[in-house]
Amino acid sequence: AAALEGQQASVVTDYVIKILGLEECADTVVGSIMMRGISGGQKKRLTIGEMLVGPARALFMDEISNGLDASTTYQIVNSMRQSTHILKGTTIISLLQPPPESYELFDDVILLSDGHIVYHGPREDALDFFQHMGFRCPERKNVPDFLQEVISKNDQKQYWARKDQVYHYITVREFAEAFKSFTVGEEMRHELSKPFDKKKGHAAALAFRRYGIPEMQLLKACLSREFLLMKKNSFVFIFKIVQLTVMALILMTLFLKTQMHRETVIDGVIYMGALFFIVSMIIFNGMADLSMTVAKLPVFYKQRNFGFYPSWAYSLPSSFLQIPTTLVEVAVWVSITYFMIGFDPELSRFLKQYFLLVLVGQMSGSLFRFLAAIGRNVIVASTLSSFILLVLMTLSGFVLSRDKINKFWIWGYWISPFMYADNAILANEFLGDNWQQVAPLSTEPLGTQVLKFRGFFTDPNWYWIGIGALFGFTILFNILFALALTFLDPFDKPQALISEDSENDEAIELNRARSLSLQGSFGAMHDEITPGSNNCKKKGMVLPFVPYSVTFDEITYAVDAPQHMIEKGVVKDKLYLLKGISGAFRPGVLTALMGVTGAGKTTLMDVLAGRKTHGYTQGNITISGYPKKQETFARISGYCEQNDIHSPFVTVHESLLYSAWLRLPTEVNRQTRKMFVEEVMALVELDSLRDSIVGLPGVNGLSIEQRKRLTIAVELVANPSIIFMDEPTSGLDARAAAIVMRTVRNTVDTGRTVVCTIHQPSIDIFESFDELFLLKRGGQEIYVGPLGKNSCHLINYFETIDGVTKIKDGYNPATWMMEVSSLDFAAVYKRSDLYKRNKAMIKDLSKPAVASKDLHFETQYSRSLFTQCLACLWKFHWSYLRNQPYTGVRFLFTTIIALLFGGMFWDLGGKMNNEQDLFNAIGSMFTAVFSIGIQNASAVQPVVDIERTVFYRERAAGMYAAFPYAVAHVLIELPYILFQCIVYTCMVYTMIGFEFTVIKCFWFFFFMYFTLLYFTFYGMMAVSFTPNQHIGYIVSTAFYGLWNIFAGFIIPRPRAPIWWRWYYYACPVSWTLYGFVASQYGDVQDILRSGLTVEAFVKLYFGFEHDMVPIVGAVVVGFGVMFIFIFATCIMMLNFQKR
């Protein structure tokens, strides 16, 4: 709305909100799969509103009716019609299953199929064209449904009207050719052949500017939006400040000035380690921007492509608004650490360090945002950032001194922001008054000696050089961020898979035969089932089952009311979404659960299915007369959720095999299971997609319609007795919806209990239901009862109510009932005879049948724990094998790092002339394993986060327990990390030149393998006890800082204060460094320049002993086991899905 020049944006926004019926949720968060927010229909209307509030006069609107009820769709299309006519705009809308009354609002119709335009012309002439081709639309048939089905080879024959001629299938191409010779087609061709008369145009119709308002106003709008997002994500920034405070307190007590000395060069090295860690901590603190930036990119790409704003207007607010947060974060850090550690007490040096670290923070945030825009995928971006950080940190001069850097790599030293930050902060400290004393046997101040010892510059101007360089890097990274946003497209472009159907008669007949075959396997027993009975004859059934009824009485559901509603006095403390709802769902009866958007349809279904994780539920639910127990109920029920949640890197066929494997009873053998899966695939027409990768919604893989059919198939292969389907036809065209409803009808006809929520059904689909459960907004019943032939019972009920207009002939009863129902109809229903009959039926069905038994299974799950683990491992195998952004990039990263480190530290492993040589070799091991470990931990987190969402659905469906899932997720990592370590060890060990003996090679590989394992398991663990990967990323970063400082490289254990030495034993990286150093150098007898042997120096300075290597190895393995245990425990105990 900010793009409207000369108008009050708030007026336009309020008007559009009112048109779209979004007033009640205007102040509600949008939400996601993991977080409760607005309903699915409201999200669709929000997407429409985002376009309508802008200044565009040519609107292209794709499937806007998905998830909306018919009355809302009519209201929106009618508004668009009036706006288009009055403002002389151009509007093209694609619709799936459009209601007839909405279809009647259009001026022109384009019928498109298989890339051919079948018809394009006035809406009134569409039926004439098909009648000209020999097809007639029957009475009580929606015209839009007829138009979609008449060009389908499976449905075309029923509309053939020329009884004196033999029907033959007319292809889409033949329709398109015939249209060209039809009257409307000829008129269009004639009109298009004439050149456009420019005199008819108007200058005002052209846009001479790319954006609707001046770009500075767009910058202001983006700045306002970014500030709002920061407030919404305030928890992240507060958490970062708390994290920095804790880390500062730890650093302060670790380097407490009472324990710090300024007598020798080694004392200075300890101070240098503290300063290096401070710079590293501020830089790593900016890593949170990486995942948050990647998460916001899909919205940015959409808005960029629609011309909302230029990329630079989007990128600048992030940098501007980072300044105050960085000022606060650095102020907290410096105020705690500076004086307590004992840095130079001069005020000017305190302020200079503060200013320097603020610039480091700004540079870090800009760098990570730039890397996020380059990577565009969180796994790729985190891997890229790990690689960049590793190279820049290694070449900063601390890990590998400047004089030891290979001449081929010295360029990396000069372009490293770390180098300028380190030299600036070291010059500020060591050239101060505290370090001016001259040590014995020296002519230089101690501070200068310390800087020279590690190869840093001694010129005080390097502080200002560092300031200038950091400021320049900040500007550069922000420019590169804006350029990356401008020129790069999304990492994965949406591309739906199109299933091509054969057009020959044999293929048609084969499909029909297979469909009838499955109707036989699903429905052979239909005539032998008595609805409501607890047993059935299973004659002819491929997979037997027992029918069950569901009754619920006085169900209420409430959530804690939002604070703004309490403040306005709308509610007191709880917001009731369901208010005393009662009903019954019976075997062999197909029930439609309907209501306006936000009426509580999905909420009721979630409550009955046991899928709610938050809120307050009251009332009674029984299964065939016995109280419902969620553990056993999950075994006999299926739930097709509105959000189609599936593992993205498996195929359609594998998804179904996996579901059937875990959910069908053990009595069903493998061959039968495969046959059943094939039949279900045929029923929902997934055959042509069997080897297609599922993909991520809106990113790649299956289309919306294909994912919807997969969701239904995944539940059908479980052979459930009770099935809940949340909007199974949403997002489908009329033909696909008809296929789905035929599937549903066949399922019901076997005696199963099926309930579907549904929006804007056609007459055919609506009247395929047996009963209707109608809700009004606020969660109350309006009508609960049978539909009858041609919806006669429903129509009679509403027409007997005073003030209700009678239905027109041929009008859709589903649309009519939504139009005539009003807010007080719930009270009318409660006073009706229908309500009394329903209550009596509920009371009757709530009593167990004679000689019946409560639902009971010997085990909670269909399969043993071993089989569950095996099935999960099978799925993870295919997921990891195809997830190249994760597995492929990880191997590529490891290979490049091995080559880089081998080149940087070429042949330094065997050079033992002085202590600095030893520090260089140890630095190579520490930096490599720490950086690759962090990359492994960071890269695995989005994988765990995506699969955890799938896990919540599958666990709720009773497919498996949490423990075998966790075990499988752990086991699948072992071979990939093994190969990663083999690649790294073979390259690095020989290039750096470590001593080549069997035992030393073994220990190097051992510590590398198990260290990468515990890093990976730590990353998995961090996600398991946090709500999402962003928080997990921040938590991980905090511990990376702790592990970095307590690893023993920055400050060795013997030099640490006694009150912190215990944490060296609790820090896994310190044990890793112990293992590497002790196994490689703990027994080396070479004499250093100081006169000590390497073995003696390692023991004296680091406290590492060669005899402890086996024990250290056991401890490193133990850390991996501990992280696995915590990961599995959190997966079992915690549920962050808010429903």
Question: Taking 60 as the threshold, does the pLDDT of residue 230 lie above it?
Answer: yes
- Which residue pairs, CB below 8 angstroms and at least 24 apart, start in 796-801? 797/832, 797/834, 801/825, 801/828
Question: Taking 90 as the threshold, does the pLDDT of residue 900 lie above it?
Answer: no
pLDDT band at 743 (very low <50, low <70, confident <90, very high): confident
Closest CA to 1116 of 1023, 1012, 1046, 1025: 1012
Handedness of CA 874, 880, 881, 883 (dihedral sign): positive
pLDDT on residue 823: 56
Segment 780-803 shows an average pLDDT of 91
Helices 70-87 and 813-820 sit at what angle, rounded to 10 degrees?
Answer: 80
pLDDT on residue 236: 80
* pLDDT tens, residue by residue, 850-890: 878 888 888 888 899 999 999 999 999 999 999 988 898 88
pLDDT on residue 514: 44
pLDDT band at 207 (very low <50, low <70, confident <90, very high): low
Strand order in the sheet with 550-560: 574-585, 550-560, 616-623, 626-627
Closest CA to 295 of 236, 216, 363, 358: 236
- Contacts of residue 1118, defined as CB under 8 A and 6 or more positions apart, other chains included, come to none
Mean pLDDT over each residue of the chain, to the nearest integer: 85
Question: Taking 80 as the threshold, does the pLDDT of residue 1081 lie above it?
Answer: yes
Question: Taking 90 as the threshold, does the pLDDT of residue 139 lie above it?
Answer: no
What the block records as the tokens of 459 is 């010129």
Question: Taking 70 as the threshold, does the pLDDT of residue 62 lie above it?
Answer: yes
Residue 277 parent element (H or E): helix 265-285
State residue 24 phi and psi, 5-degree precision.
-70, -20
pLDDT on residue 998: 92
Question: Taking 80 as the threshold, does the pLDDT of residue 892 lie above it?
Answer: yes
| Class at the top of the CATH hierarchy for domain 1-106 | alpha beta
Instruction: Name the more confident of 568 and 795.
Output: 795
How many angstroms from the chain centroid is the CA of residue 1117?
A: 32
CB 60 within 8 A of CB 585: no
- Of 308-312, 497-501, 717-721, 906-910, which range is least confident? 497-501
DSSP-based three-state secondary structure for 414: helix
Strand partners, 640: 725
pLDDT band at 540 (very low <50, low <70, confident <90, very high): very low
How many angstroms from the chain centroid is the CA of residue 105?
A: 38
pLDDT band at 623 (very low <50, low <70, confident <90, very high): very high
CB 369 within 8 A of CB 314: no
* pLDDT tens, residue by residue, 481-495: 999 999 998 876 555
Residue 413 parent element (H or E): helix 410-414
pLDDT on residue 510: 44
Question: Taking 70 as the threshold, does the pLDDT of residue 513 lie above it?
Answer: no
- Of 98-107, 421-430, 744-753, 909-918, which range is least confident? 909-918
Instruction: Name the more confident of 737 and 974.
Output: 974
Helices 915-956 and 378-394 sit at what angle, rounded to 10 degrees?
Answer: 170
Between strands 574-585 and 550-560, the pairing is antiparallel
Instruction: Output the DSSP codes for 879-914.
Output: HHHH-TTTHHHHHHHHHHHHHHHHHHTTT-TT--SS
pLDDT band at 519 (very low <50, low <70, confident <90, very high): very low
Amino acid present at 181:
S
Place of tokens 């073995």: 1095
Question: Taking 70 as the threshold, does the pLDDT of residue 705 lie above it?
Answer: yes
The CATH homologous superfamily to which domain 505-547+587-615+635-826 belongs is P-loop containing nucleotide triphosphate hydrolases (3.40.50.300)
pLDDT band at 6 (very low <50, low <70, confident <90, very high): very low
pLDDT on residue 208: 65
pLDDT on residue 822: 62
CB 723 within 8 A of CB 752: yes
Amino acid present at 1132:
M
The two most distant CA atoms of the chain are separated, in Å, by: 118
- Contacts of residue 340, defined as CB under 8 A and 6 or more positions apart, other chains included, come to 252, 256, 257
**What size, in residues, is the chain?**
1139
- Contacts of residue 554, defined as CB under 8 A and 6 or more positions apart, other chains included, come to 580, 581, 582, 618, 619, 620
* pLDDT tens, residue by residue, 146-166: 998 899 887 888 899 988 889
State residue 613 phi and psi, 5-degree precision.
-110, -15
pLDDT on residue 762: 82
Closest CA to 927 of 956, 958, 904: 904
pLDDT on residue 837: 93
Q: In angstroms, rounded to a whole number, what is the distance separating the alpha carbons of residues 817 and 765?
A: 15
Place of tokens 């335009």: 117
Question: Taking 70 as the threshold, does the pLDDT of residue 40 lie above it?
Answer: no
Segment 1060-1070 shows an average pLDDT of 91
Segment 18-34 shows an average pLDDT of 76
* pLDDT tens, residue by residue, 342-364: 888 899 999 999 999 999 999 99
pLDDT on residue 529: 34
pLDDT on residue 820: 83
Residue 60 parent element (H or E): strand 58-62
Segment 548-568 shows an average pLDDT of 84
* pLDDT tens, residue by residue, 286-304: 888 888 899 889 889 988 8
DSSP-based three-state secondary structure for 553: strand
Spell out the domain ranges in the chain: 1-106, 108-194, 234-489, 505-547+587-615+635-826
Question: Taking 90 as the threshold, does the pLDDT of residue 468 lie above it?
Answer: yes
pLDDT band at 10 (very low <50, low <70, confident <90, very high): low
Segment 408-428 shows an average pLDDT of 92
Instruction: Name the more confident of 64 and 339.
Output: 339
pLDDT band at 549 (very low <50, low <70, confident <90, very high): very high
Same fold, 1-106 and 505-547+587-615+635-826: yes
pLDDT on residue 570: 64
* pLDDT tens, residue by residue, 827-848: 889 989 999 999 999 999 998 8
Amino acid present at 760:
Q
Report percent pLDDT > 90 for the chain: 37
Radius of gyration of the chain (CA): 34
Place of tokens 């306002």: 224
Question: Taking 50 as the threshold, does the pLDDT of residue 516 lie above it?
Answer: no
pLDDT band at 1072 (very low <50, low <70, confident <90, very high): very high
Q: How many CB atoms lie within 10 A of CB 277?
A: 21
Question: Taking 70 as the threshold, does the pLDDT of residue 898 lie above it?
Answer: yes
pLDDT on residue 487: 92
Q: How many CB atoms lie within 10 A of CB 522?
A: 26
Q: In angstroms, rounded to a whole number, what is the distance separating the alpha carbons of residues 569 and 562?
A: 11
pLDDT band at 205 (very low <50, low <70, confident <90, very high): low
pLDDT on residue 515: 44
